[in-house]
Amino acid sequence: MIVSEIVELEGEIIHDSIFLSVGHLHSRNKKRLVPINSCHDLKLAMTSDTIAGLIIPEEIPVPKNTKKGIIIASNPMMAALKIQKKLIQNSCINKQPTKIHPSVYVHPSAIISDKDVVIEKNVKINEHVIISEGSVIERNTIIGPNTIVGSISKPVNPDPALSNYNPSGSVLVKQGVVIHAHCCIEKSWFQDTTIIGQRCHIDNLVTINQGAVVGDFSLITANSQIGDYAIIGMDCWVGLRSIIHPGVSIGDSCYVTLGSRVTKDIAHGMVVKDNWAIKRERFKGVIT
């Protein structure tokens, strides 16, 4: 697909882009068109082999000597969503009615979208839970009170005009997951899936940002945040109040100590520490 053949943009097309999808900087789709909001993001995007084109704001210098498509727009996110909306319209994808298995317990105060939700057998939905369209909850899962599944991510420099667009992502909560109270599981603005693997345990007050993947059998403890499109491997332990930065990949069987801030990829089987976490001895007897 070529941008100039799909939709008319208010911005200027410097190099036309041949692409397959519109996506986030840290998305895993190949040949995607990506909105850029900073020079730092531009630097990351220029080194990626999976990004076909960039939508950049007027204040960022146009990259030279690149084969990537370049579009200049006053609001890159708005331009990206406009292109995506046109793609979805052309694909003629129809939303399906919500399907809830008869064995599911839904508290009377819970709110579940009447479109594009699938909830399998023996799921328990507690009080004041909100489940948005594009969510799939597999069997034997428990969703704790005041948790939101499929919340909308707030983009950088949000524009009121974004209300004209709906996020196109989805959320998949696999079988046997336990999500405690006051958690937030975001869905992406783009056509990506936020995934919580089977038999994961998500503690209170955890935020799983858009496009993130939590591998099977992992534990995310209270007040932690998993950044946009971060990947947590299988059988990992993420300690209390930890922050995993956007796009970071953590290998299987890793242990992230209390209060850590993970900014780089972590290999399989590693223990992650930072200055605050090293002093965790004082928490013995309080946290086990």
Q: pLDDT at position 277, please?
A: 35
CATH 2.160.10.10 holds for 99-283:
yes
What span, in angstroms and rounded, lies between the C-alpha atoms of 272 and 20?
36
Is it the case that residue 189 has pLDDT exceeding 60?
yes
Q: Within the chain, which residue ranges are assigned CATH 3.40.1390.10?
A: 3-91
What band does 55 get if pLDDT is binned at 50, 70 and 90?
Answer: very high
206 contacts 230 by C-beta, under 8 angstroms: no
pLDDT given at position 12: 80
For 56-109, the pLDDT digits (tens) are 999 999 988 888 989 998 889 988 998 888 888 877 777 899 999 999 999 999
In this prediction, residue 9 has a pLDDT band, given cuts at 50, 70 and 90, of: low
Per-residue confidence (pLDDT) for residue 278, from 0 to 100: 39
Q: What does CATH list as the number for 3-91? A: 3.40.1390.10
In 3D, which of 213, 168, 220, 218 has the Cα closest to residue 195?
A: 213
- Ordered strands of the 111-112 beta sheet: 111-112, 130-131, 148-152, 184-187, 207-208, 225-226, 243-244, 261-262
User: What digits encode the pLDDT tens for the residues 145-182?
Assistant: 999 999 988 766 667 777 778 889 999 999 999 999 99
CATH 2.160.10.10 segments of the chain: 99-283
| CA-to-CA separations, 137 to 5, 102, 141, in angstroms, rounded | 38, 14, 7
What's the pLDDT at 2?
76
Q: Which of the four pLDDT bands, split at 50, 70 and 90, describes residue 1?
A: low
